Amino acid sequence: MQLNEVESKMILSKAGVPVVETKLARNMKEAILLSKEMGFPVVLKIVSPDVIHKSDAGGVKLGLKSSTQVRKAYTEIMSSIKTGFPEARIDGVSVQRTARQGVEVIIGMTKDPQFGPVVMFGLGGIFVEVLKDVSFRVVPVTRRDATEMIREIRGYPLLRGYRGQEPAHIAYLEELVVRVSEFVERNLEIEELDLNPIFAYKDGAVAVDARIVLKNSGT
């Protein structure tokens, strides 16, 4: 069973994982109201268990600065999804305030048939699919493991502040990897977990998107 983005972020936040505040809007009126409450600019994203690659499906609208833009974005998202995924179950759209851009990284977890839960770290966003620049460790992940995971990816210089870019807070990312490992260890019903992207800053990090897949009951 896959939790939606809003549910996943709520659970992770309670576990001490920093996430961008995100709320579910079931219709256009709620999307506009939540946008005003959070403060512009905001991001709208489709919430559907049947749409995994939301951006590719036209299900993401960024940098919305007014109620008018939110209304237009909501309409366009629904039109794109209903055209491309006519059978998809649509729960609504997620509304979140626009996060400051940072170095994009990913922390994830899958279950290996032999070793059990395995935590992954790497460059996030589209980089994880294109470059596959990631490292893995079996749970439980120690602080030393996390340090090695981060430093062994090829993109590590980007985290150090390549060509004047803002560096990432490496120690904070190490702690975050350990925190995710501990969360997974406490919740063995989790089959998969993705925090992608995480925006890493010089003073911390925040998960912009999140996905949790639970073991189906009875399996």
Residue 46: inside a domain: yes
pLDDT over threshold 70, residue 217: no
Do 184 and 116 share a structural domain? Answer: yes
Instruction: Name the nearest CA neighbour of 211 among 113, 69, 107.
Output: 107
In order of 12, 17, 122, 133, 214, the CA distances from 96 in angstroms are 16, 16, 24, 28, 24
Q: Are 85 and 108 members of one domain?
A: no
pLDDT band at 180 (very low <50, low <70, confident <90, very high): very high
Residue at 183 is within a domain:
yes
**Cβ proximity of 31 and 74 under 8 Å:** yes
| Assigned domain for 13 exists | no
Distance CA 142, CA 136 (A): 12
| Domain co-membership, 121 together with 92 | no
| Whether residue 218 has pLDDT greater than 80 | no
Task: Among 66, 97, 128, give the residue marking a domain's end.
Answer: 97
CATH number of the domain that 163 lies in? 3.30.470.20
pLDDT tens across 137-156, in order?
999 999 999 999 999 999 99
Q: What is the gyration radius of the CA atoms in the chain, in angstroms?
A: 18
Predicted TM-score (pTM) of the model is: 0.92
Q: Are residues 66 and 155 in the same domain?
A: no
**Residue 54, domain CATH:** 3.30.1490.20
Domain edge (last residue) among 97, 113, 129 = 97
Residue 12 burial class via C-beta count within 10 angstroms: exposed 0-12, middle 13-18, buried 19 and up: buried
Asked whether residue 17 is domain-assigned, the answer is no
Q: pLDDT of 52-98, one tens digit each?
A: 889 999 999 999 999 999 999 999 999 999 999 999 999 999 999 99
Residue 86 shares a structural domain with residue 132: no
Phi then psi for residue 152, to 5 deg, are -90, -5
**Structure confidence at residue 165 (pLDDT):** 85
Q: How many domains does the chain have?
A: 2
Spatial contact of 19 and 210, defined as CB atoms under 8 Å apart: yes
SS3 content of the chain, % helix, strand, coil (to 5): 35, 30, 35
Which residue among 72, 97, 122 closes a domain?
A: 97
Q: Domain span at residue 134?
A: 103-214
Residue 1 counted as domain residue: no
Are 93 and 107 contained in the same domain?
Answer: no
Q: Does residue 68 share a domain with residue 141?
A: no
Q: Is the pLDDT of residue 127 over 90?
A: no
Residue 10 located in a structural domain: no
